[in-house]
Amino acid sequence: MGPTKAIVKGQALCEAVSGKLIRDGFASRQAMEDYVRQHYVAMPVLDNAGKPWQLDGKPIYCLHGVQYETVDDQKVHLARCPDCGGMGIRADELTVDSDCIRCTACGHEFDARLEMMET
């Protein structure tokens, strides 16, 4: 079992799948992040501008620092753009030996091998 995947709704954290309230009334983003660190909760990945990553309209979670998953626990091969922090997807999904990743936010192309460690 991984951490509870949460979404942010105003001052509240809710479970991403069920929409159930985890906790309401956070005074600040910092307070929310502190709570997440102390509990087994994952927050959606944000780019450097604070905009959440979205794949097919769903938030993305980063587990264990390297593994990206959708809300449905599907592992996805993504990498963080070194420029804007945006979501990078494999430029050619059919070429397995290529690790060329393209940022969906700014179009920057980079080599995922520099950004993530294969497990």
| Interface ranges with Zn ion (CB under 5 A) | 81, 83-84, 86, 103, 105-106, 108
> Shortest approach of Zn ion to residue 109 CB, angstroms?
9
What are 117's two structure tokens?
A: 């460690």
**Phi and psi torsions of 40, nearest 5°:** -90, 70
Q: What is the 3-state secondary structure (H, E, C) of 20-40?
A: CEEECCCCCHHHHHHHHHHCC
> Shortest approach of Zn ion to residue 88 CB, angstroms?
7
> Shortest approach of Zn ion to residue 80 CB, angstroms?
9
Indicate the residue among 9 and 51 with the shorter CB distance to Zn ion. Answer: 51
Indicate the residue among 41 and 89 with the shorter CB distance to Zn ion. Answer: 89
Return d(Cα 98, Cα 28) in angstroms, integer.
41
Indicate the residue among 16 and 81 with the shorter CB distance to Zn ion. Answer: 81
